[in-house]
Structure 1
Amino acid sequence: MNSFSIDKVNELIGVEESYQAPDALMKILWDKSKREKLFMKFLNISHNVSDDWFRDYFQEVQSDRGKKKQDFTPLSVSKLMVRLADNGSTYFEPAAGTGGILINRWNSDRMKTTPFDYLPSKYFYQVEELGDSAIPFLIFNILIRGMNATVVYGDSLSRGVKQVFFCQNENDDFLGFSSLNVMPHSEQVKKYFKVNEWVRSPLNHIESEKIPSILSKLIMEEDK
């Protein structure tokens, strides 16, 4: 039985209507203290992090089956796909939704060793998602599980990208949460977007002190 009904998810996020949830959740995610308090609320309800808690919720009230053809891969199919393609330490997935298949792959990776031998730094995940409503839930699922991952917020076919997020488990702690960072943008890139077109996405947001300073140097070189 899914412990996270529509009403329960909305209550935890702090909204009365489901359409308010994506924006409200993204605002929480930008605040490290608030999001980790929210993480603990979810974990107090369920410690089963091997499944996507938002699968039923999102498919019921958030998915755009008409315009964006959003539908969820059944759990049994997700597990089969992971078993067929479970090799290597890196993972790529376009159209990731809220991260159901990703979570199955992450769980498979961590189950290969004992908890004391598992290191998040041994695995890296890159996912892409176009849906405005799905992005906050996808990032939530990555951060709460302590993954190292990039999230490309854009169209996997046209390669039009609104934002790139970098999630990092800084302390390489299998029980730790990840930080949330926006990859630096050059002035040249910023010119392509108006501020109000960066949906839910500040241009500058760096939490991790371990992001190499060379990124900033590269940006400065590009702007010259």
Structure 2
Amino acid sequence: MQFDVKTVNKLLGIEESYKAPEKMLQLMLDDQQRPGLFKQFLAVSTDLKFDWFHEYFEDEQAERKSKKQDFTPDSVATLLNRLTARQSNDNAYYEVAAGTGGILIKHWWNDLTHNSIFTYDPRSCWYQAEEMSDRAIPFLLFNMAIRGMNGVAIHCDSLSRRAKDVYFIRNDSNNYLAYSEVIKCPHHELFKREFDITEWVDRFDD
């Protein structure tokens, strides 16, 4: 495994894995440090067609007891995307309980490889991913932004529609190699209506 615990923690500049989600979120919201972090990870691997954090997160961060949290194997994620292949005129993707983005990444890879570098435009696709876990959200933001996606990651309970935050992932260019910005949206009525949020909360009920 290229991105083992030691490697990921070193790249994030931490010694203890429990600090990873907070540090990752901090870096994702920092316009100066985010691109540099992406370059460091890409120096280890440039293979973007799968979730680098699958095993790291499952071993170190998954909340199996409290949230019954487990992650979709890479082979299953590939199969699911083949079964639910997007129609050519449908450029929007929506996923609840997205975790760190394993299935989402497979869908993005399918979008990318079904176009040529001359016709693929990141602005033509929209990805909306929702996740409840405080630990998973920062890694989901990383996975969307390093791949230059456009969309939103909503930190919410998808059933009750209660939300902590909405993050806008923006790549305002036609460059499929460009990184996305990560913008934390204000707790405004506009975003509540747009994403069908019932209320803003600081924590979810257990």
User: What TM-score, normalized to structure 2?
Assistant: 0.89
- The residue correspondences of 1:128-207 to structure 2 (distance < 5 A) are 128-186=130-188, 197=202
Question: What is the RMSD computed on CA atoms of the aligned residues?
Answer: 1.8
Q: Structure 2 counterpart of 1:135, which letter?
A: I
Which structure 2 residue ranges, 5 or more long, are not aligned? 193-198
**Which structure is richer in relative contact order (CA contacts within 8 A, separation 6 or more)?**
2
1:172 deviation in Å? 2.6
Partner of 1:124: 126
SS in 1 for 2:66: coil
1:97 is matched with 99
**1:28-39 matched pairs, under 5 angstroms:** 28-39=27-38
Give the secondary-structure state (helix, strand or coil) at the position aligned to 1:32.
coil
Q: Give the share of equivalent positions with the same residue, in percent.
A: 43
Partner residue, 2:196: none
Offset, 1:187? 7.7
1:142 Cα deviation from its structure 2 partner: 0.3
| TM-score, normalisation: structure 1 | 0.82
What is the deviation of 1:184?
3.1
1:12-91 aligned at under 5 Å gives the runs 12-87=11-86, 88-91=90-93
Deviations 1:102-140 (A, max 9, x none): 000000000011122211011111010000000000000
Query: Which segments of structure 1 move beyond 6 Å, counting only runs of 4 or more?
Result: none
Flag structure 1 segments of 5+ consecutive residues without an equivalent: 200-224
Max Rg structure: 1
Task: Note the C-alpha offset of 1:89.
Answer: 1.3
| Rounded Cα–Cα distance in structure 2 between residues aligned with 1:171 and 1:47 | 21
1:1-20 equivalences in 2 (<5 Å): 2-20=1-19
Q: Give the Cα–Cα distance (whole angstroms) in 1 for the partners of residues 163 and 57 of structure 2.
A: 23
Shift of 1:193: 5.9
Q: Distance in 1 between matches of 2:176 and 2:33?
A: 21
For residues 144 and 186 of structure 1, the distance between their equivalents in structure 2, rounded to whole angstroms, comes to 27
